[in-house]
Amino acid sequence: MANWHITIGLEVHCQLLTQAKLFCQCGTDYIGKPPNSLVCPVCLGLPGSLPVMNHHAMQLALRTASSLHCQLLPKVVFHRKNYFYPDLPKGYQISQYDLPIGINGYFEFLTQGEKKQVRIKRVHIEEDAGKLIHEGINLPENCSGVDFNRCGIPLVEIVTEPDLHHPEEARECLTALRDLVRFIEVSDGNMEEGSLRCDANISISTHPDLMGVKVEVKNMNSFRSVFRALEYEIDRQKRCLEEGGSVPQETRHWDETNEVTISSRGKEDAEDYRYFPDPDLLPYIVKEEVIHQIKSSLPELPLERKERFMIDYELTESDASVLVQDKSLADFFENCIQELNKPKFIANWTITEVLKNLNILDIDIKQSKISPSSFMELLKMIDKKEISGTIAKAVLEEMFQTGGRAKEIMAKKGIAQINSEKEIEKIVRQVIEQNPQSVADFLGGKEKAFHFLFGQVMKVTRGQANPDLVKSILNKELSAEG
Amino acid sequence: MDIDTIKNFTIKDYHKVYKNKEVSPIEITQFFLDRIHLLDSSLRAFLTIDETGALQRARELEEKKLGEADLPPLYGIPMAIKDNICIQGLPTTCGSRILSNYRSPFDATVIEKIKKAGGIFLGKTNMDEFAMGSSTENSGFGPTRNPFDPSRVPGGSSGGSAASVAALEAPLALGSDTGGSVRQPAAFCGIVGLRPTYGRVSRYGLISFASSLDQIGTLTRNVQDTLTLFTVISGQDNRDSTCAPYPPFSFSDDLPENEIKKMKVGVAKEYFNPGVDPVITQRIQEILKILTNEGFEIIEVSLPHTDYALEAYYIVAPAEASSNLARYDGIAYGYRCSHPLNLQDLYTRTRTTGFGKETLRRIILGTYCLSSGYYDEFYLKGMQVRTLVKKDFEDCFEKCDILLTPVTPHLPFKFGEKSHDPYQMYLADVFTIPSAMAGIPALSLNCGYHQHLPIGLQVLGAPFQEGKILSFATFLEKTLSVPPPVIKSVNLKKEVL
């Protein structure tokens, strides 16, 4: 059979950037903490404890829903999702059901250079569960442990409509969603660390108007595995149908090591979660002014900003994409432009040198010791040819390390551009004398020899000579030779 | 100090003798501990007796050497606490085997408040498992006896607290009321029981049975002590989202006697049906006559949805309970079955053997009511009925200030009399459930005796109108002057178990 129509929908969970958990005061920075060190009676669900909503988490969730153009509901209700699992200490998860934070939104992202819109079904807030530990030094043999540190951390769940039609499109959508939640500063969106998680629904059919049987795929821990798992599923379902079989409705787990999906739960085992409004929490009334305030505090979204960068600053799509991946980097870039209206020049230096240094130090621009003004001091010197690119790179590295200003570093290291014609002339003559063969080559018409001689001059001056002066003097002196 | 002196004591009287150095908090605490040692092997009101803790606390209070003017409101007052309210370090079992080894690592908000007010905790009292029952027969640790007649139930679920106060093992106690669990045992034990407005007292640290109905209440020997204790425990708590944003109760809402008599007293015909023991109906009629003579205006009102309240309650309460009790899974704390084969087996056997029969019944009932396809038919309908019941009371309190009703349709029943038939047992709460569903305050007052058994009268008021209820009850207590219960011993020979 030839034409298969693929339908994909995503369910994305993002950990919200709050100091405290969703219903108690426990901290959320659980990575690397000893098991059960960030817990209290509330998040452990101890008898007698009661949840109290964290307003900051609600703000961030509303911000997320708003950035996805959702209709924000005036009354938000928490529901209990009842099921038994050892990582769920209350026997239910506080989540949302028919009155979530936002419904009927949309999200735009670029796929193959084209703008694509995916509808957002709903955005809701819920608490995370704990984590089972199957091996560890303190565990008795044949025993598993539960770490409740993650339990109660606020998550926002974004559910898309099944508007995606290719694994690559799904990956791009997910990447763009990750960029969005980072950009609006509600989540750090780190898939490897689990602060962004994605499940996918996928079905295939022979006709675009026919919906195939929905299979849910879970346990994909990277953007690549989302892509790989979906590709695998399409292939598997095609084979299944082409062999005359049928695809059962089920949940499957992605096995990262073997790159296959494995059936984990059939439709008949689907759980009845017995949702009902949590009587321990009052409905949250979202006031008109709160909606207004959330909307007006939203920054320009990544896609809009990227398009503006491409138009206003004439940047390429790939350069613009890199800059908007992180809101503070995009802000940094735009602050720099205020000081010198050469966007492409600044973009190049930002994308190559600034990001290189951030990577080396494993920090983001906000954590770095560099500011737009200190960076621009350096870039202006390059622009005025007061300093060579090579030197500037070394100085920038030093600025990232120590936080010093460019001129201070240069003074301390004895770096100053040689602008004295006399001095350069002296060095040029010296180089000409020492390299008669190259001079002969140049005079014989070999242009390359000029670059060699130029390089020798720069080497002798440790890159400090004004390159333009070197070029003109070298030219002059060589013509004098000839 | 002897029992004949103490039987009529209010908290103010204790404070008077403390001030005059006639007796010390340690001696009073020891007095009640002695009472417990004397009576409780027969009465079985307590599950935990914290003798060391209570005496230690009394000593600490004495060392503070406060002048009378500075005495905090519950200074040196020993108390009994229902075993579903958490006290740090003490066992908190909810009357259930599934929590038999559980000690709470924190204090309930009410416990914090009582500690601050100078109260002393004698121990934890028996109850129907997870507050599900009306007789204490559902306790996982055996029933409590009615101090008036050990062959009869003390009522429930706060039966241990009520019995301990009636038998003067403690001068006052805390209970919890979900559908009548404070008021019905107060009536059966001849004392005063208050269920405050839902949200008036923080539930933080009260182990949930049905969150939208549970409310901590007081059990005392006189109205004045109810008032003092209620003042201490009420008020907003930022750890309980359902707690109303009001400061603690203060009795500036108190009414002078001539104002009290201006109150319009409502009588709802639905509460005086042929199913009610004529002894109870007759006593209430007598009281209405007294009130008329005192100049009160009596108004007949109607609460048309009363009959549906019980049915709706037995959907809403078990539904919430089925979810609230899911946490007792044998994983992190509490009882766990021996040698589980796998996770499923651990859950199944822990819960089927850890919970008692009535609790299991309600978990199954509630699970069913919330199941997909049944939610709309049961839970949602139940909640709709609840709205109608609430509306009934709203209409009614536009016409009158308080309502007088029986607390229970019958006098204290015998052990085993209803325990074989859950529906008969559920009917024991038929007059306390509607007000619980509406979330309004209600007080149970001993209004007389039939032979040796007490008769309860219920005073209902509009939300947050505890002031009116307590003013009226104070007046009525004085007017009726029913003698408080005095239990010299519990004679188990009469027992017909």
Query: Known catalytic residue: B64?
Result: no
Q: Name the residue range of residue B49's domain.
A: 3-262+399-494
pLDDT surpassing 80 at residue A463: no
Contact residues, chain A, for B211 at CB < 8 Å: 278-280
Report the pLDDT averaged over residues A359-385. Answer: 89
Mean of pLDDT over chain B: 94
Q: What residues of chain A lie within 8 A of the CB of B198, using their CB? A: none
d(CA A311, CA A317): 10
Encoding tokens for residue B319? Answer: 């539904």
Closest residue, chain A, to B107 (C-alpha)? A48
d(CA A20, CA A25): 5
Nearest chain A alpha carbon to B93: A47
pLDDT at B261 over 80: yes
Give yes or no for residue B66 having a pLDDT over 70. no
pLDDT in tens, B148-166: 999 999 999 999 999 999 9
CB contact under 8 A, A50 and B327: no
Question: What is the rounded CA–CA span in Å between residue B53 and residue B50?
Answer: 5
Residue numbers of B between 373 and 402 with CB closer than 8 Å to A? 375, 379
Identity of the residue in A48, A53, A80 whose CB atom sits nearest the CB atom of B206: A48
Which residues does B188 contact at the CB level (< 8 Å), separation at least 6?
A: B146, B152, B153, B154, B155, B159, B162, B408, B411, B412, B454, B456
Q: What is the reported pLDDT for B492?
A: 60
Cα-based angle A49, A52, A57 (whole degrees, multiple of 5): 135
* Token pair of B260 as six digits: 């009290």
What is the average per-residue pLDDT within B189-216? 98
Quick one: pLDDT at residue A123?
A: 98
User: How far, in Å, are A274, A380, A450, B486 from residue A389 at the CA level?
Assistant: 66, 12, 19, 99
Of B208, B332, B370, the CB nearest to A274: B370
The answer to whether B268 touches B306, Cβ cutoff 8 Å, is: yes
Q: How far apart are CA B260 and CA A58, in angstroms?
A: 47
Model confidence at B493: pLDDT above 60: no
* Count of structural domains within chain B: 1
* Assigned domain for B342 exists: no
Q: Choose between B455 and A455: higher pLDDT.
A: B455
Q: For domain A421-481, which architecture applies? A: Orthogonal Bundle (1.10)
Q: List the single residue in A49, A50, A146 with the smallest CB-CB distance to B331.
A: A146
**Which of B182, B87, B178, B164 is CA-nearest to residue B126?**
B164
Average pLDDT over residues A392-421: 84
Q: Is B207's CB within 8 Å of A47's CB? A: yes
Has residue B288 been placed in a domain?
A: no
pLDDT reading at B444 higher than 80? yes
Please judge whether A86 and B343 are an interchain contact, meaning their C-beta atoms are less than 8 angstroms apart: yes
Query: pLDDT (tens digit, 9 = 90+) per residue, B71-129?
Result: 899 999 999 999 999 999 999 999 999 999 999 999 999 999 999 999 999 999 999 99
Model pLDDT, residue B497: 38
Q: What is the pLDDT of residue A136?
A: 76
Bridge partners of A260, per DSSP, are: A255
Q: Please, which pLDDT band fits residue A478 given cuts at 50, 70 and 90?
A: confident
Q: Please name the residue of chain A whose CA is at the shortest distance from the CA of residue B369.
A: A274
- List the single range of A1-15, B220-234, B244-258, B456-470 with lowest mean pLDDT: B244-258
B181 in catalytic set: yes
Mutation pick from A82, A280, A285 vs chain B, by most beta carbons of B within 10 Å, is A280
Q: What distance in Å separates the CA atoms of residue A40 and residue B314, rounded to the nearest whole number? A: 33
pLDDT at position B494, please? Answer: 45
pLDDT of B298 strictly over 70? yes
> Hey, is the C-beta of B326 within 8 angstroms of any chain A C-beta?
yes
- Give B-chain residues touching A41 at CB under 8 angstroms: 105-106
pLDDT of residue B260: 92
- Sort out which chain A residues have CB atoms less than 8 A from B206's CB and list them: 48
Segment A22-32, tens digit of pLDDT: 999 999 999 99
**CA-to-CA separations, A336 to A168, A198, A372, A384, in angstroms, rounded:** 35, 36, 5, 16
Q: Best residue in B329, B352, B381 to probe A by mutation, most A CBs within 10 Å?
A: B329
pLDDT of residue A197 exceeding 80: yes
The enclosing domain of B166 has a CATH number of 3.90.1300.10
Predicted confidence at residue B482, as pLDDT, reads: 95
- Identify whether B321 is part of a domain: no
B225/B220 Cα distance (integer angstroms) = 6
pLDDT exceeds cutoff 60 at B253: no
B269, part of any domain: no
Name the residue among A44, A47, A278 with its Cβ closest to that of B92: A47
> Considering only CB atoms, which residues of chain A are within 8 Å of chain B?
41, 44-53, 80, 82, 84, 86, 89-92, 146, 148, 272, 274-276, 278-282
CA angle A134, A138, A144 (to 5 degrees): 25
SS3 B217: strand
Residues in B closer than 8 angstroms to A276, CB to CB, are 319-320, 323, 370, 375, 379
Cβ–Cβ pairs < 8 A, chains A and B: 101
| E strands present in A44-140 | 71-72, 75-76, 78-82, 92-96, 102-111, 114-127, 131-133
Q: A139-163: per-residue pLDDT in tens?
A: 887 888 999 999 999 999 999 999 9
Average pLDDT, chain A: 91
Residue A187's alpha-carbon distances to A13, B259, B348, in angstroms, are: 10, 60, 39
Weakest-pLDDT range from A271-280, A441-450, B458-467: A441-450
pLDDT surpassing 50 at residue B495? no
Q: Is the confidence at residue A357, as pLDDT, over 70?
A: yes
Measured between CB atoms, which of B104, B323, B333 is closest to A82? B323
Is residue B113 flagged as an active site residue?
no
Where are the strands (E) in B196-274, listed by range? 215-220, 264-268
Contact B375 A275 (CB under 8 A): yes
pLDDT of B469 > 60? The answer is yes
Q: So what's the pLDDT on residue A28?
A: 96
CA closest to A277 among chain B residues: B320
Share of chain A above pLDDT 70, in %: 99
pLDDT > 70 in chain B, percent: 97
pLDDT tier for residue B254 given thresholds of 50, 70 and 90: low
CA A467/CA A179 separation, integer angstroms: 41
Tell me whether residues B241 and A50 touch, CB distance under 8 A. Answer: yes
B348: closest chain A residue by CA: A84
pLDDT at B496 (0 to 100):
39
Answer for the pair B459, B403: CB distance below 8 angstroms, yes or no. Answer: yes
**Does residue B383 have a pLDDT over 60?**
yes
d(CA A124, CA A102): 7
Say which of B108, B204, B370 has its CB closest to residue A276: B370
Q: To probe the interface with A, which of B239, B351, B377 has the most A CB atoms within 10 Å? A: B239
Q: Do B379 and A50 touch (CB under 8 A)?
A: no
pLDDT of res. B67? 65
Mean pLDDT of B287-314: 96
Catalytic residue among B158, B161, B181, B208: B181
Domain residue limits, chain A: 5-290, 300-412, 421-481
ipTM score: 0.95
CB contact under 8 A, A84 and B329: yes
Q: Do A48 and B106 touch (CB under 8 A)?
A: yes
Which residue from B241, B329, B343 is facing A52, i.e. has the nearest CB? B241
